[in-house]
A and B are shown apart, each in its own frame.
Chain A
Amino acid sequence: MFFTSYQFIFLFLPITFVCFVIAHRLGGWNWAINLLGLASLIFYGFFGIKLLLILMASIAFNYMLGNVIAVLKDHPVIAKQTLLFSIATNLVMLGYLKYSNFFIDIANKISDSGFTHFDLVAPIGVSFFTFIQIGYLIDAYNQQLVKHNFSRYILFSAFFPCVTAGPLVLQREIMEQLEAPQHSAFELRRLVVGLTMFGIGLFKKVVLADSIAPYANQVFDAATLGHHIDAGTSWVGAVCYALQLYFDFSGYSDMAIGLGTVFGIKLPLNFDSPFKSTNISEFWRRWHMTMTRFFTNYIYSGVAMNGMRNSARWRLGNVGRFMLVAAMPAIVTFLVAGVWHGSGWTYIIYGLMHGCAIAIFLAWREFSKYKLPTAAGWLLTMCTVVSALVMFRAPDVSTATTILANMWGFGSFDLGTTLLGADIGRAFSMIILFGSITMLLPNTQQILHHDWPTSDVKPPNTEMDAGLLTWRLSTGSAFVTATIYTVALTSIGTGSNFLYYKF
């Protein structure tokens, strides 16, 4: 069951909300939390009972180990060993479900043997719920756990708005909200704001992302089948995919945050107009923000601190220190982020491309006095992002390199767009229109800034002004919201899954 299905919108969501309110009336906030936890498991169960069992086993294991680690505060060595064991177990489970067939492919290639693939189906959102819980284990080790119990833990790790594709929440930002005693289950304004955000996300997904997707698919499918792809077509396909992914994932994130708001649980922001970024570092502050936060917290910091210690010990110069403290941690962090997305060389190369881009940017900022003009910075950033996304989207490295070679003049120099034929005008118009939306219009949180629906601290109003598009309880906003909903609900297609569901 997907957020974009009629079953979810007209059955699961209203039924869950009504039960949530009734549970709260009957038994208070704790009952409401229990109900939400149960609803979340039922929601996940729609993807398959086996997958639900894997999720539940993961929840039980991590909750138990997290509590053991927290109790062992006076035995730091055992606590650390328990932490390492529990993280390793999570990673082995994730590796088995997601990467074992990839390693079999590598083994077959190296040894020319014929090992057969495991018949595995990775649970939807396995990377998300595994890493959310690894964060919990580390917080337990650092004695940073907020008071909780098992039912709250279930809700934290399996909350249906974010269990399938994030945001990657931290235990404290959810547990602190669950701990708040003043919580009420039904606030009309909160409900309205949450559903408005959900509607904006639904619109982004089913109207924008799904309508540009066929052009990206056509180009990538043709390249996969070995058809000739000229330079113009390659660029159109790559840019269409970048826009598709943005509207798909930011649409999903809006829906997730909106759903959280409906139930009085604020989730962190995931997107902040990333295509307005003028450098690659800024891009990652704005794109999939909770993933960046997670990897910065738990990987970059550790590698950077290690680098700091070693550079001091080895008395390295500026360049050596920079390499150990900034460049290497960035490359390692994004390499892990790439692998986290999926099995395959394309994800590894995608991560490396971004790690290297960040390292180059940091080196430029550290050692060069010349500052790029804003427009040039934006263009360079977008070229990097779009090129890396070709690697991200392509089914294999060979397809990606074909498209990239054509884009950058190493393949066909033909600027024609023969593959798309008569559709090229439409694809081009969509790029202009959708690109303008990302560049010129305020983002969802800016539109809804009066009711700031996320767990992030709200920036000053001067940075959030959406002008005429600011959402208010007004007739105008009602018309706009109703139009968005009507168009979105009447545009829901078949089999329109979120791209990030495969991660």
Chain B
Amino acid sequence: MVNLSLQSDAEFELIGLRGLTRGEAKPESKPRSSAALAYAILCLTLILVGLAAVWRGNQTFGPEMYADNGLLPAVEAFEKGQNYAVFDLNLNIRKLHELQVSRMTETPDVVIIGASHWQEAHSDLLKGLKLYNSHIHRDFWEDLLGAPYIFAANNRLPKRMIISIRDNQFRPIATRPDYLWEPGIANYRLMADKIGVEKESFWATLPYQRIRQLFSISMLFDNVTRWYNADVRPHATTDARSKTLDTLLPDGSILWSEAHLAFFSQERMKKEAMALADLRRNDPPQVEKRGVEAFDKLLDYLKSQGVTVYLAQPPFNPIYYDNLQGSAYFEGLTKVDALTHDIAARHGLKMIGGFNPHKVGCTPDMYIDAEHSNPTCLKKIFDEFSEIVKSEGGK
């Protein structure tokens, strides 16, 4: 029988692949296990201290994003009729709304629930009605439940609510490219309980990426660097527009800094729109059926509470929209469009806006980047809304 397995050093030596082993060492005396226990405790303590330091550091130097009450100064400023300037819009905007709504003394007439497409929808776009812009970044269908919950829990449900449906609104959790939806999960779960919707599993909605960010040393480095390099840090202000900081307004909308506006040139916007279209061409919007069912129940609940809901679609940047014609993405978008119309029909809701910018009348110069329109475009949708309200006999 041929021995197929040869392991001696001599055979390894054939190609110089002699084993690592070259001799036996004397066994070494091992300290007692109490020393190992002390070592383990010391190590564990130091690691916990280290992790706590990073966590605390991120909360200290990036309070708007990471600290529970990091946006309290902003809300306090709003109560005094001031604005609040921040480094940028990377902040926990869901928490901001939660804090602000919990301290509201008056219920708004109209609330917008939607994504960052609506961030520049200021209250002056709607004459005669008190508007609160409850937009959030990267909203998914759980936010459609979580955001209204804030108003319901504080008895501040408005008479009219504009709920915006974006392309990836109903995207399943497993395929989501970002984690900004995670801080809204608690409110989503509470609303799901309230209206009797089966919740996503605990594991699927664990705010894993947010926790990771809180404990991220590179994030801490960025936060500390930004904090110490900044000429001006976040503060309450009566100025409408700051040179370097973006401004949060009491109505929930935002104003870009001069620096940001200069950065968002038309040339840059065109490049971004083309690049984003290329990126998404083969990544069609997906629809999680459970999300649609949950939204149906939410609409029933809001109706039972006397809230009139208007479904909105944010118009896309025309360059982006035109470049995606015929793509797999566009096919998916068409399905989401049909779904939105179907929901509106089933619940007897009126629709405003539209994914198609040409239909709404928004042109490329009304966009600051690939996705976000400026107030000129948004005004067209609010004019449409005002007409509907007027036709309903509202003021």
In contact, A473 and B15 (Cβ under 8 angstroms): no
8 Å CB interface, A282-334 against B: 282, 284-285, 289, 292-293, 296-298, 300-302, 304-305, 325-326, 329-330, 333
In contact, B43 and A492 (Cβ under 8 angstroms): no
Q: Does A54 contact B (CB under 8 A)?
A: no
Q: Does A483 contact B (CB under 8 A)?
A: yes
User: For residue A473, which residues in chain B have a CB less than 8 angstroms away from its CB?
Assistant: 31, 35-36, 38-39
The residue that B6 contacts in the complex, of A282, A297, A481, A485, with Cβ under 8 A, is: A297
Q: Does A254 contact B (CB under 8 A)?
A: no
Q: How far is the CB of B67 from chain A (nearest CB, A)?
A: 18
Q: In whole angstroms, how far apart are the Cα atoms of A326 and B20 in the complex?
A: 20
Q: In whole angstroms, how far apart are the Cα atoms of A344 and B83 in the complex?
A: 60
Q: In whole angstroms, how far apart are the Cα atoms of A326 and B14 in the complex?
A: 7
In contact, A192 and B36 (Cβ under 8 angstroms): yes
Q: Does B229 contact A (CB under 8 A)?
A: no
In contact, A460 and B36 (Cβ under 8 angstroms): no
Q: In whole angstroms, how far apart are the Cα atoms of A452 and B20 in the complex?
A: 14
Q: Does B3 contact A (CB under 8 A)?
A: yes
Q: How far is the CB of A371 from chain B (nearest CB, A)?
A: 14
Q: In whole angstroms, how far apart are the Cα atoms of A486 and B217 in the complex?
A: 9
Q: In whole angstroms, how far apart are the Cα atoms of A163 and B389 in the complex?
A: 64
Q: Does B40 contact A (CB under 8 A)?
A: yes
In contact, B212 and A292 (Cβ under 8 angstroms): no
- Assess A329 versus B4: contact at CB under 8 Å? Given A6-B211, A457-B24, A485-B43: no
User: For residue B16, which residues in chain A have a CB less than 8 angstroms away from its CB?
Assistant: 279, 281-282, 285, 361-362, 365
Q: Does A113 contact B (CB under 8 A)?
A: no
- Assess A459 versus B21: contact at CB under 8 Å? Given A189-B36, A482-B46, A485-B47: yes
Q: How far is the CB of B342 from chain A (nearest CB, A)?
A: 32
User: For residue A285, which residues in chain B have a CB less than 8 angstroms away from its CB?
Assistant: 16-20
Q: Does B30 contact A (CB under 8 A)?
A: yes
8 Å CB interface, A43-75 against B: none
Q: Does A228 contact B (CB under 8 A)?
A: no
Q: In whole angstroms, how far apart are the Cα atoms of A458 and B20 in the complex?
A: 9
User: For residue B18, which residues in chain A have a CB less than 8 angstroms away from its CB?
Assistant: 285
The residue that A329 contacts in the complex, of B15, B22, B51, B218, with Cβ under 8 A, is: B15
Q: Does A360 contact B (CB under 8 A)?
A: no
In contact, B50 and A330 (Cβ under 8 angstroms): no
Q: How far is the CB of A405 from chain B (nearest CB, A)?
A: 29
Q: In whole angstroms, how far apart are the Cα atoms of A43 and B160 in the complex?
A: 50
- Assess A459 versus B4: contact at CB under 8 Å? Given A285-B16, A490-B216: no
Q: In whole angstroms, how far apart are the Cα atoms of A269 and B19 in the complex?
A: 11
Q: How far is the CB of B208 from chain A (nearest CB, A)?
A: 7
> What residue in chain A is nearest B45 (Cβ atoms)?
A482
Q: How far is the CB of B7 from chain A (nearest CB, A)?
A: 6
Q: Does A436 contact B (CB under 8 A)?
A: no
User: For residue A188, which residues in chain B have a CB less than 8 angstroms away from its CB?
Assistant: 33, 36-37, 40
In contact, B17 and A281 (Cβ under 8 angstroms): yes
User: For residue A162, which residues in chain B have a CB less than 8 angstroms away from its CB?
Assistant: none
In contact, A490 and B6 (Cβ under 8 angstroms): no
Q: In whole angstroms, how far apart are the Cα atoms of A463 and B39 in the complex?
A: 27
In contact, B24 and A458 (Cβ under 8 angstroms): yes
* A 336-369 binary contact with B (CB < 8 Å = 1; else 0): 0000000000000000000000100110010000
User: For residue B262, which residues in chain A have a CB less than 8 angstroms away from its CB?
Assistant: none
Q: Does A477 contact B (CB under 8 A)?
A: yes
Q: How large is the interface on B (under 10, 10 to 19, 20 to 34, 35 or more residues)?
A: 35 or more
User: For residue B37, which residues in chain A have a CB less than 8 angstroms away from its CB?
Assistant: 188
The residue that B5 contacts in the complex, of A298, A362, A490, with Cβ under 8 A, is: A298
8 Å CB interface, A454-503 against B: 456-461, 463-464, 473-475, 477-479, 481-483, 485-487, 489-492, 494
> What residue in chain B is nearest A308 (Cβ atoms)?
B14
- Assess A292 versus B17: contact at CB under 8 Å? Given A139-B5, A482-B47, A491-B216: yes
> What residue in chain B is nearest A334 (Cβ atoms)?
B15
Q: How far is the CB of B39 from chain A (nearest CB, A)?
A: 5
- The tally of residues in A whose CB lies under 8 Å from a CB in B reads 68
In contact, A296 and B15 (Cβ under 8 angstroms): yes
8 Å CB interface, B105-119 against A: none
Q: In whole angstroms, how far apart are the Cα atoms of A61 and B47 in the complex?
A: 45
User: For residue A483, which residues in chain B have a CB less than 8 angstroms away from its CB?
Assistant: 46, 50
Q: Does B279 contact A (CB under 8 A)?
A: no
Q: Does B42 contact A (CB under 8 A)?
A: yes
Q: Does A425 contact B (CB under 8 A)?
A: no
Q: Does B174 contact A (CB under 8 A)?
A: no
Q: How far is the CB of B119 from chain A (nearest CB, A)?
A: 25
Q: In whole angstroms, how far apart are the Cα atoms of A450 and B29 in the complex?
A: 9
In contact, A461 and B25 (Cβ under 8 angstroms): yes
Q: Does B162 contact A (CB under 8 A)?
A: no
> What residue in chain A is nearest B209 (Cβ atoms)?
A494
Q: How far is the CB of B243 from chain A (nearest CB, A)?
A: 25
Q: Does A138 contact B (CB under 8 A)?
A: yes
In contact, A269 and B39 (Cβ under 8 angstroms): no
In contact, B30 and A456 (Cβ under 8 angstroms): no
The residue that B20 contacts in the complex, of A301, A459, A460, with Cβ under 8 A, is: A459
User: For residue B21, which residues in chain A have a CB less than 8 angstroms away from its CB?
Assistant: 456-459
In contact, B50 and A141 (Cβ under 8 angstroms): no
8 Å CB interface, B302-327 against A: none
User: For residue A293, which residues in chain B have a CB less than 8 angstroms away from its CB?
Assistant: 17, 19
Q: Does A142 contact B (CB under 8 A)?
A: yes
The residue that A460 contacts in the complex, of B15, B22, B43, B54, with Cβ under 8 A, is: B22
8 Å CB interface, A66-87 against B: 76, 80
Q: Does A272 contact B (CB under 8 A)?
A: yes
User: For residue B209, which residues in chain A have a CB less than 8 angstroms away from its CB?
Assistant: 494
Q: In whole angstroms, how far apart are the Cα atoms of A138 and B211 in the complex?
A: 48
Q: How far is the CB of B5 from chain A (nearest CB, A)?
A: 5
> What residue in chain A is nearest B42 (Cβ atoms)?
A478
User: For residue A461, which residues in chain B have a CB less than 8 angstroms away from its CB?
Assistant: 25
Q: In whole angstroms, how far apart are the Cα atoms of A450 and B26 in the complex?
A: 10
User: For residue A358, which residues in chain B have a CB less than 8 angstroms away from its CB?
Assistant: 15
> What residue in chain B is nearest A491 (Cβ atoms)?
B217
Q: In whole angstroms, how far apart are the Cα atoms of A279 and B16 in the complex?
A: 10
- Assess A269 versus B17: contact at CB under 8 Å? Given A297-B7, A475-B42, A486-B47: no
- Assess A330 versus B15: contact at CB under 8 Å? Given A459-B21, A485-B47, A490-B215: yes
User: For residue B3, which residues in chain A have a CB less than 8 angstroms away from its CB?
Assistant: 142
Q: Does A429 contact B (CB under 8 A)?
A: no
Q: How far is the CB of B242 from chain A (nearest CB, A)?
A: 28
In contact, A494 and B212 (Cβ under 8 angstroms): yes
In contact, A478 and B43 (Cβ under 8 angstroms): yes
User: For residue A459, which residues in chain B have a CB less than 8 angstroms away from its CB?
Assistant: 20-23, 25
- Assess A284 versus B17: contact at CB under 8 Å? Given A138-B4, A296-B12: yes
User: For residue A450, which residues in chain B have a CB less than 8 angstroms away from its CB?
Assistant: 28
> What residue in chain B is nearest A279 (Cβ atoms)?
B16
The residue that B51 contacts in the complex, of A141, A269, A490, with Cβ under 8 A, is: A490
Q: Does B1 contact A (CB under 8 A)?
A: yes
The residue that A477 contacts in the complex, of B11, B39, B220, with Cβ under 8 A, is: B39
* B 275-313 binary contact with A (CB < 8 Å = 1; else 0): 000000000000000000000000000000000000000
Q: In whole angstroms, how far apart are the Cα atoms of A7 and B209 in the complex?
A: 12
Q: List 18 A-B contacts (CB under 8 A).
A: A141-B4, A192-B36, A269-B20, A285-B17, A304-B11, A304-B15, A326-B15, A456-B19, A457-B24, A460-B22, A460-B23, A460-B25, A474-B39, A475-B42, A477-B39, A482-B47, A486-B47, A494-B212
The 4 closest A-B pairs by CB, nearest first: A486-B50, A482-B46, A281-B16, A490-B217
Given contacts A297-B7, A485-B50, 4 further A-B contacts (CB under 8 A): A6-B212, A298-B4, A473-B38, A475-B42
B residues in contact (CB < 8 Å) with A: 1, 3-7, 11-12, 14-25, 28, 30-31, 33, 35-40, 42-43, 45-47, 50-51, 54, 208-209, 211-212, 215-218, 220
